[in-house]
């Protein structure tokens, strides 16, 4: 078995969801879940098929985001992995809908942080062992940090 680290390639502030699913129609069902939950969100989704032709399947409503999802899925090349890149919304806007898609087994992360994947490769294929999402913790928030966090949430419309 070989272990490697792979970095998700994306613009610095772009949010994405990375997960594991199990069926060829995953890409279509995730597409439907997103447009039914947040029709104004721009997104691209790609899915790594794990049997048959083992292709990257993709869909979305923004060609640049579809291409970004495809290129990252192909770089990951781990069976049944899916990735969703988005604009005009946040993962929290669609995360529960994505998790409720029948084929979705797990979500590894939903973030805009720099992200690395720990990949295992055997003679059979590749799999994601884990995700490094952002940086290591540097301490505990102060009262000023709490105030700053709550102001940010108000600024982006998540708190009154």
Confidence of residue 158 (pLDDT cuts 50, 70, 90): confident
Mean pLDDT of 29-51: 97
Given the structure tokens 């102001």, which residue do they identify? 151
**What is the rounded distance in angstroms from the CA atom of residue 87 to the CA atom of residue 74?**
21
The full set of domain ranges for the chain reads 2-155
- For 66-112, how does the pLDDT look when each residue is reduced to its tens digit (9 = 90+)? 999 999 999 999 999 999 999 999 999 999 999 999 999 999 999 99
**What is the rounded distance in angstroms from the CA atom of residue 113 to the CA atom of residue 17?**
11
**What is the rounded distance in angstroms from the CA atom of residue 27 to the CA atom of residue 47?**
6
Torsions phi, psi of 64, nearest 5? -65, -40
Q: Cβ neighbours of residue 136 under 8 Å, at least 6 residues apart?
A: none
What class, spelled out in words, does domain 2-155 have in CATH? alpha beta
């Amino acid at each position: 078995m070989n272990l490697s680290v792979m970095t998700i390639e994306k613009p610095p502030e772009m949010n994405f969801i990375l997960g594991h699913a199990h069926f060829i129609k995953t890409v279509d069902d995730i597409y439907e879940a997103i447009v039914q939950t947040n029709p104004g969100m721009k997104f691209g989704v790609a899915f790594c098929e794990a049997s048959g032709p083992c292709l990257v399947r993709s869909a979305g409503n923004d060609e640049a985001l579809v291409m970004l999802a495809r290129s990252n899925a192909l770089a990951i090349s781990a069976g049944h992995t899916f990735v969703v890149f988005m604009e005009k919304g946040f993962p929290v806007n669609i995360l529960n809908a994505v998790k409720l898609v029948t084929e979705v087994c797990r979500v590894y992360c939903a973030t805009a942080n720099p992200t690395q994947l720990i990949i295992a490769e055997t003679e059979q294929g590749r799999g994601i062992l884990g995700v490094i999402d952002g940086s290591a913790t540097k301490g505990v928030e102060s009262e000023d940090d709490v105030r700053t966090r709550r102001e940010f949430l108000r600024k982006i419309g998540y708190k009154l």
